Copies of this chain bind each other. A is one copy, B any other.
Amino acid sequence: MADESLFEFLHMEIVAYVYKHQSGDNNDQERGNALSTLEGLGFRVGQGLIERFTKDTPTFKDDLDAVKFLCKDLWINLFRKQIDNLRTNHQGTYVLQDNKFSLLSQFSNSKQYIEEAPKYLVYTCGMVRGALSNLGIDSVVTAEVSVMPACKFQVVIQRA
């Protein structure tokens, strides 16, 4: 799909650019800064997108309802597929599994790429956190890769 490529290419370029400008000599702190910049970019895009997407949607009755909306509607719009599996402990932790995550699909399954994967996931973590934030839900969102291009996003809701 064409606009999917647009997003994929643009995403790759942004990751490369932010890394080039913020982690010159590859030390841990600078790598942390770059990740946090990408997360922040995603956060603001997520905030904007959810506002547009939920314009005609009734309010969500609880966190689960909001997370389900992300897994279906948001994911389809962004990645042309739904989240494949959603699990929750019913205490505010949600695990969203995508068996073929589009931003990883260009990478092979070698160890080197798995180590590089976090930088291709953090923008999306930010986007999920930004979307939830705009629905009034504070969260911490992390991601991990098991076997490329499958990955899991963990959302932990922060109670006030």
Chain A interface residues (CB < 8 Å from chain B): 2-7, 9-10, 13-14, 17-18, 21, 37, 41, 44-45, 48-49, 52-53, 77-78
**A2: which of B2, B13, B52 is its contact (CB, 8 Å)?**
B52
- Given known A14-B14, A21-B21, contact A6–B41 (CB-CB < 8 A): no
Q: In the complex the two chains form, is A10's CB within 8 Å of B13's CB?
A: no
Number of copies: 2
Secondary structure call for the A interface: helix
Complex alpha-carbon distance, A144 and B41, angstroms = 27
Q: Which residues of B contact A2 (CB under 8 A)?
A: 49, 52-53, 77-78
Q: Which residues of B contact A3 (CB under 8 A)?
A: 3-4, 7, 77-78
**A45: which of B9, B18, B41 is its contact (CB, 8 Å)?**
B9
Q: In the complex the two chains form, is A10's CB within 8 Å of B7's CB?
A: yes
Complex alpha-carbon distance, A13 and B14, angstroms = 10
